[in-house]
Amino acid sequence: MKDYDFEEEFHARDRKQFRKMRKHAQDTDRSKFKKTDQVVQEFSAQENAHKGRVLSISGEGSVVESDGKQYLCSLKGFLKKEKNLTKNLIAVGDWVEFQIISEKEGAITAVLPRTTILSRTDISGKKEQLIAVNVDIVVICVSIFEPPLKPSLIDRYLIAAEKGKLTPIIVVNKIDLLEGEKELYDAFLEAYEPLGYPILSISTKTGVGIEILRNLLQNKTSVFSGQSGVGKSSILNACFGLTLKTGVLTQKTAKGAHTTSMAELITLPNGGYCVDTPGVRSFGVWSLKKEDVIEHFREFKSRCQFPDCSHTSEPNCRVVKNVKNGKIPALRYQSYLTLMNEVQTQKSKTTWN
Ligand SMILES: Nc1nc2c(ncn2[C@@H]2O[C@H](COP(=O)(O)OP(=O)(O)OP(=O)(O)O)[C@@H](O)[C@H]2O)c(=O)[nH]1
Ligand SMILES: [Mg+2]
Ligand SMILES: [Zn+2]
């Protein structure tokens, strides 16, 4: 299987197909579309605005829920003109105003102010892509093996969470696979536990940790993020008795098969919401700056005697010395170097293999 740099590339195949079908439908049925335009105008005159929440977005439009009903909504033309540095105007979790066109259709007229934003750099490297908004918690899902741990991906999500005002929780799934091979897991805990982020080790296979996670997410809105195949959908199924589609790993690379194809806001049985997202292969933090990286690796600051040190090649830098003598975990420093290298070379999009 081809390795896709961004999951969009993977799913683009389906979207292309869908666009073709839509174009064909439009070409062959102009009357229907004209009629819809007309109805939208009539409703606009009546200022018949409803408030709703965006559950999912696809090529067909945005599914908006309001008063227990779902409407497939298009965007009003004037909203589209606002497109600038943001790739998508509407995101999963958005509160919107919309006009009802029919039993199942609507048109979004306004997007209400957002409290939190989880975003990334889009495939072009030039625009911000919103993943989910108005979400309290980002669950950073990782596994130690299958797929292998990528510490710099964790740091990318942690930085994105801080920028977007979300509370991060790191969930290490698949700990049933650790038997006898705990070295990398221990190194990860040694590096990340002292930083104070909540870390929870779980297994959907044995059930360990599932109840704790369920309680943490109850009555909150959370977004599940991470590489394809780490078990995001499996965890949600285990915690909340859902039936989300889960996939198998490719045997050769132990990577996921991009099973979840679009972000979706799901109502939890006993209160709260969660967003399942498609797994990423790379995650560029939108508008990542050197200061963001320095701020994120704040534990280095007190270790170094030089105020403007990059902690890379400066002679006598105590951070470098502490890495050498093991006082700073190599795992964390390696992640720092990866991110610093990215901002210094002005690359907004990188892979980290
Ligand atoms: N050994 C083990 N395997 C697990 C565990 N949790 C999930 N898996 C397996 O991991 C594979 C991928 O799970 P998914 O839930 O589809 O992963 P995902 O993160 O949602 O993947 P995408 O939707 O592609 O992003 C499946 O074969 C699951 O059965 C676990 O705790 N232990
Ligand atoms: Mg999934
Ligand atoms: Zn230094």
Residues 6+ apart with CB under 8 A from 220: 136, 137, 272
- Looking at the structure, tell me whether residues 223 and 137 fall in a common domain: yes
* Structural domain harbouring 162: 131-276
Q: What is the pLDDT of residues 286-303, one digit of tens each?
A: 999 999 999 999 999 889
Listed residue (119, 85, 123) closest to 282, CA to CA = 123
- Whichever domain contains 158, its CATH number is 3.40.50.300
- The confidence band for 18, taking pLDDT boundaries of 50, 70 and 90, is low
Indicate whether 5 pLDDT > 50: no
**Is pLDDT larger for residue 34 or for residue 118?**
118
5 part of a folded domain: no
349 part of a folded domain: no
- Mean pLDDT on 108-112: 94
How far is the centre of ligand 1, averaged over its atoms, from the C-alpha of 255 (Å)?
10
- Looking at the structure, tell me whether residues 236 and 294 fall in a common domain: no
Q: Which two tokens stand for residue 352?
A: 């980290």
The pLDDT mean for the chain works out to 86
> In the chain, how many domains are there?
3
Q: What is the pLDDT of residues 140-195, one digit of tens each?
A: 999 999 999 999 999 999 999 999 999 999 999 999 999 888 999 999 999 999 99
Query: Poorest-confidence range of 9-13, 149-153, 277-281?
Result: 9-13
pLDDT at 3: 44
- Looking at the structure, tell me whether residues 84 and 177 fall in a common domain: no
- Looking at the structure, tell me whether residues 261 and 304 fall in a common domain: no
pLDDT at 43: 45
Distances (CA, A) of 95 to 60, 120, 328: 19, 20, 43
- Looking at the structure, tell me whether residues 89 and 20 fall in a common domain: yes
- Looking at the structure, tell me whether residues 105 and 147 fall in a common domain: no
Q: Which two tokens stand for residue 98?
A: 């919309």
352 part of a folded domain: no
8 part of a folded domain: no
Q: What is the pLDDT of residues 197-233, one digit of tens each?
A: 999 999 999 999 999 999 999 999 999 999 999 999 9
- Whichever domain contains 324, its CATH number is 1.10.40.50
- Looking at the structure, tell me whether residues 95 and 177 fall in a common domain: no
Q: How many percent of the chain have pLDDT more than 70? A: 83
- Closest approach atom of ligand 1 to CA 173: 31
Check: CB of residue 188 under 8 Å from CB of residue 178.
no
How far is the centre of ligand 1, averaged over its atoms, from the C-alpha of 149 (Å)?
14
Query: Poorest-confidence range of 10-24, 99-113, 182-196, 338-352?
Result: 10-24
Closest ligand to C-alpha of residue 147 is 1
CA gap 188, 209 in Å, rounded: 18
Widest Cα–Cα separation across the chain: 74
Give Cα 207 to chain centroid, integer Å: 24
The whole model's pTM is what? 0.86
Q: What is the pLDDT of residues 36-67, one digit of tens each?
A: 444 444 444 445 789 999 999 998 999 999 99
Q: Could you tell me if the CB of 88 is within 6 A of ligand 1?
A: no
- Whichever domain contains 66, its CATH number is 2.40.50.140
How far is the centre of ligand 3, averaged over its atoms, from the C-alpha of 316 (Å)?
8
Q: Could you tell me if the CB of 279 is within 6 A of ligand 1?
A: yes
Indicate whether 92 pLDDT > 70: yes
